[in-house]
């Protein structure tokens, strides 16, 4: 429902970002708290690496929280029971970098950049999986409105890795509305 509401707000250009300085670990903790019941249901674990994470970032915390929840819940949905999801957060070239790796089937060659398109659902992964194909589109939209970018690829050892880059502070030339 949050993704549907966010997509409508984006479509009608009523998606103003509310920038403020926020504690990175607090945003991560809140995201993990929200997805923990989903992870428990599938007996999945998380490995979290925050040693190199910046203490604070100037972002719309509600929207970055939505990015994390979408990525974590997708990782859970497409990964097998008992698997592990790895979340690494650090800073690279004045950007907050969020790297999420799962143990799912990975991305098909046909998926490519399509996975970030609105309503796209990977045919090879979607059978029996709930969803409207909005989650990754919302992720990309939020990240790009922050002045960042997102990328995804299959891992050679199996699974997928998603990398999100968001500026650690709002740039002066950015539109306050994103």
* pLDDT tens digits, one per residue of 26-51: 999 999 999 999 999 999 999 999 99
Determine contact, residues 137/120, Cβ cutoff 8 Å: yes
Query: For residue 106, which of 129, 127, 78 has the smallest C-alpha distance?
Result: 78
Please work out, in degrees rounded to the nearest 5, the angle formed at the alpha carbon of residue 14 by the alpha carbons of 11 and 17. Answer: 115
Residue 80 DSSP symbol: P
Q: Is the pLDDT of residue 2 over 80?
A: no
Q: What pLDDT sits at residue 157?
A: 84
- Look up the pTM and report it: 0.83
């Amino acid at each position: 429902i949050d993704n549907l509401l966010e997509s409508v707000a984006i479509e009608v250009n009523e998606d103003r970002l509310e920038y403020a300085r926020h504690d990175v670990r607090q945003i991560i903790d809140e995201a993990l708290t929200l997805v923990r019941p989903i992870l428990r249901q599938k007996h999945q674990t998380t490995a979290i690496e925050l040693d190199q994470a910046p203490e604070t970032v100037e972002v719309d915390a509600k929207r970055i929280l939505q990015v994390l929840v979408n990525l974590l819940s997708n990782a859970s949905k497409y990964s097998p029971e008992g698997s592990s999801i790895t979340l690494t957060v650090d800073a690279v070239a004045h950007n907050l970098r969020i790297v999420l790796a799962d143990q799912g089937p990975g991305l098909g060659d046909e998926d490519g950049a399509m996975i970030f398109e609105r309503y796209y659902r990977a045919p090879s992964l979607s059978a029996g999986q709930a969803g409207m194909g909005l989650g990754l589109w919302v992720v990309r939209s939020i990240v790009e409105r922050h002045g960042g970018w997102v990328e995804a690829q299959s891992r050679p050892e199996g699974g997928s890795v998603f990398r999100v880059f968001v500026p650690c502070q709002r740039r002066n030339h950015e539109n306050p509305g994103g």
